[in-house]
Amino acid sequence: MATLAPPEQKAPPERVRRRKGVTEQQRPLWLLTPGGVLMTVVIVLPLVLALWISLIDLDQYTLRRWVEAPFIGLDNFVESFSSGLLNSIWISVSFAVISTIATVPIGIAAALVTQNKYRGRALVRAVFLIPYVLPSFVVASVWRTMLQPDGIVNAWLAKVGIDGGLWLSGPTSYWTLILVEIWAAWPFIYLMSLAALQSVDHEVHEASAVDGVTWWPKLRRVILPYLRGPVLLACLLATLNHINNFTLPFVLFGAPAPEDVNVMPMIVYVTSFQSLRFGLSAAMAVLSLVLIAIPLFVYLRAVRLDVHEEGGRK
């Protein structure tokens, strides 16, 4: 007589182990705690404090009891536009755009020069990186010495019959700032372009050689498309860095700087630490942050659209 097997019992659902009240699914969130705390202390709290200071009348008279400083709302923001901020915004944006546009072809050309192997390439690469590895205050100090009325630049120009004039004051100071910034910033574009060139598949070069493609069509139709993404990212980062550059104009021209090079970081510094209008300078800093966020948003939006287009094609 066959014996009936006992009915199979379903294994009890596996219980989620808990440790100190946190499930395993929630445990990875704890790994974000140190970074979250650091970002809160370094970014969020100073930003909230700057927003609060921009809404109060904080100066040398109310600094001692800043908590009780009078609340004036948006008056600091309104005063910012009548205190030269609009002119500083125009100078900063034009300076950043011109510097970026000038550094892109220089950086790409330098990357193309050092892409292929040849004797002495390592030395050429090291020389190209000298402006980038030097601290900004060193670059500004050296150029400030060279561009003095009796400096080496005017001495060289005098030998060929050119009067150099004043480089660090007047309308010429604006173009001096751009030229020095180009000299110091183009290696960043060079590094990004060189990294992108290294990612080009070797088979692409072989196919171009087999098809007999000459240098210019190969550069325009094969190499430059590979550089599009990295160069766009480099342009964004370079533009933001130009706008935020404080060390170069501060050391090169001093504070207060000439009107033609009174960029946003300089006017915020002078308003805060020389005029002691801390509320007004905080409002200027907040407006500068909003201005800087615009190209970043545009770039992120463009990248997102590109990703969606590529996904749709697939």
Which pairs from 71-77 meet CB under 8 Å and 24+ separation?
72/279, 76/279, 76/280, 76/282, 76/283, 77/283, 77/286, 77/287
Range scoring the smallest mean pLDDT among 8-22, 140-154, 170-184, 250-264 = 8-22
Answer whether residue 205 shows pLDDT above 70: no
Range scoring the smallest mean pLDDT among 78-87, 126-135, 202-211, 228-237 = 202-211
Amino acid 213: pLDDT: 66
Give the pLDDT band of residue 296 (cuts 50, 70, 90).
confident
The DSSP call for residue 68 is G
Q: For a pLDDT cut of 70, what percent of the chain falls above it?
A: 82
Amino acid 1: pLDDT: 45
Answer whether residue 16 shows pLDDT above 50: no
C-alpha 164/C-alpha 159 separation (Å) is: 11
C-alpha 194/C-alpha 293 separation (Å) is: 27
Amino acid 220: pLDDT: 73
Handedness of CA 271, 275, 278, 283 (dihedral sign): negative
91 vs 310 pLDDT, higher one: 91
284 vs 314 pLDDT, higher one: 284
Residues 6+ apart with CB under 8 A from 65: none
C-alpha 21/C-alpha 19 separation (Å) is: 5
Q: pLDDT tens-digit profile of 54-83?
A: 898 888 888 888 777 888 888 889 888 888
Q: pLDDT tens-digit profile of 116-175?
A: 788 888 898 889 999 988 988 999 999 999 998 888 988 898 888 888 788 888 888 999
Task: Give the mean model confidence (pLDDT) for residues 97-118.
Answer: 89
By three-state DSSP, how is residue 222 classified? Answer: helix
- The domains located in the chain, with CATH, are 44-83+277-313 (no CATH), 86-262 (1.10.3720.10)
